[in-house]
A = this chain, B = another copy of it.
């Protein structure tokens, strides 16, 4: 949806941003990663316009970051899942989340923490378990409400059942 490529940019950061460096894409990926898999769920959680969400999902599907699967037919209803490529955005999300926690913290502390499924340890900005030191991937971790989660205004916390 970027109407202009980054000309002369051989940098991979630029190429990454062409795909996910846009107002909503990473937040959609985060939602899906956290188990919020349906159109209306994502729409409600982010407050994104429906047409824009539709366009973003289509773009993420085109880029093979998200996959759409029907969970019933007649009427057709869909869920969105991350592909491997999408799951591999996890380290970038961890880095951005920790940067936000550090420099723009909520009044009560981080609203969300990520924990290592294996040992329950907290995951660092590098996606490393602070308890056991293992270098993790998206599948090894799950999100959980943090100290600042109470600030969440009205909305119940998203379903964090990080299915597989």
Query: How far does the alpha carbon of A124 sit from the alpha carbon of B155 in the complex, in Å?
Result: 37
CB < 8 Å neighbour of A16 from B10, B23, B99 = B99
| Interface: A118 (CB within 8 A) | no
| Interface: A161 (CB within 8 A) | no
For A100, list chain B residues within 8 Å (CB). Answer: 11-16
Copies of this chain, count: 2
In this complex, the interface size class of chain A, counting residues with CB under 8 Å from chain B, is 35 or more
Q: Is the CB of B8 within 8 A of A154?
A: yes
Q: List A134-160 residues whose CB lies under 8 Å from chain B.
A: 135, 148-149, 151-155
Identity of the chain B residue whose Cβ is nearest the Cβ of A105 in the assembled complex: B12
Query: How far does the alpha carbon of A102 sit from the alpha carbon of B149 in the complex, in Å?
Result: 34
CB < 8 Å neighbour of A13 from B18, B26, B103 = B26
Q: Is the CB of A151 within 8 A of B19?
A: no
Q: Is the CB of B12 within 8 A of A110?
A: yes
